[in-house]
Amino acid sequence: MKIHKEYSEAYTKQMSETAIGVLKNIYNINEEDITTMKSRLAYKVEARKIYNYYLWNCLNVKHNHMKNYIHNIHHSTSIYLKKCFEFEFDHYKDFSSNYITFLYFTDNIEWNKLKEIKKIKTRNII
């Protein structure tokens, strides 16, 4: 179900950056793998589908404006990724669990807790 709410550009940008950070951790990829259309590796495309759907559904970014967040994406590609996302979410348990995990950590409070835990772990290792 699409959320019909307008957000400020600053809020959308902040939540977009949080989403990229969460996807980088879930899929162990670089930001460029999410924000560009260069790679066709399955796990990178999966991360891009989640990011595209999140922008469209949760942050109300229109398909024509996806090019501001994912470089070299055409609006028809954005629509295709959305439809693929919906199919895979309904049919593949691993994909849907990854999306639910992603939504949990895009909540800024949980994301900040995760970053703090990682800082503590790195301090204790060194």
Enumerate domains of the chain plus CATH numbers. 9-125 (1.10.1750.10)
Angle, vertex CA 78, rays to CA 60 and CA 70, nearest 5: 80
Alpha carbons 31 and 47: distance in angstroms, whole number: 10
pTM for this structure?
0.83
Please say whether the beta carbons of 82 and 54 come within 8 A. no
How would you write the pLDDT of the chain (126 residues) with one tens digit per residue?
A: 555 567 788 888 989 999 999 999 899 999 999 999 999 999 999 999 999 999 999 889 999 999 999 999 999 999 999 999 999 999 999 999 999 889 888 886 676 777 777 777 777 765
